[in-house]
Amino acid sequence: MTPYLYSPEEIAALVRAARSMAHPLRAAVFEHFVALMAVTGMRTGEVMALDRDDADLDAGVLVVRGAKFGKSRLVPLRPDVTARLRAYARRRDELCPHPAVPAFFVSGTGTRLNHPNVSTTFNTLLAAAGISAPPGVPKPRPYDLRHSFAVATVARWYDEGLDVARHLPALSTYMGHVSPASTYWYLHACPQLMTAAAQRLEDAWKETP
């Protein structure tokens, strides 16, 4: 299935839609759930599985335990992201002081989020944000935020003139892929990146004597 590619404006609209939900706890949870997926490219299941002890908000690092293929990894966070998660944690604890589970993101009843819960809420956010897929493109999903993160990262590298092949292993490790080849397969059919790569090649040809 071809992933849906969210624009930065659409991601911002999703976050605003989540922030506007009537239930204060759900609003706080989903605002930061969506934002975290968008800025880290974590899998939906990885974000749902995070426990409080997995979020070191002093060091600015998340621990993803037993992710796909049974591997765990560290996900470093930007200082601004860490600050927002710290504010979320305070708000969560005010609204849900006695949760039923140690999950970092909780439901309105203090339980761990699950896929049906997240999918249903995300569909509501899509509608509120006015986001829909054009004809022939699959319906947007939470998981597509992961793909959008990867594409945006590589597109930024192209814009900055960086050696994408050299940096790809770092992105692969950060996202928890088995190898850079997996990351390449994940990205290779994206028109946005194909255009950027073609432009890089054309620029190189122009510079050749």
pLDDT digits (tens, 9 = 90+) for 140-180: 999 999 989 988 888 888 888 888 778 888 888 888 877 76
Structural domains of the chain in order of their starting residue, each with its CATH number? 1-209 (1.10.443.10)
d(CA 89, CA 152): 27
Distance (Å, rounded) from C-alpha 203 to C-alpha 63? 41
- What integer pLDDT is reported at residue 205 of this predicted model? 38
Give tens-digit pLDDT for 128-138: 999 999 888 88
Q: Which of 10-24, 53-67, 186-200 has the highest mean pLDDT?
A: 10-24
- How is residue 3 written in tokens? 């992933």
Treating both helix axes as pointing N-terminal to C-terminal, what angle do 8-19 and 115-129 enclose, rounded to 10 degrees? 110
Sign of CA dihedral 82, 116, 149, 178: positive
* Percentage of the chain modeled with pLDDT above 70: 83
The residues that bridge with 56 in the sheet, in sequence order, are: 61
pLDDT band at 206 (very low <50, low <70, confident <90, very high): very low
- Mean pLDDT, the chain, integer: 86
61 φ/ψ angles, rounded to the nearest 5 degrees: -140, 140
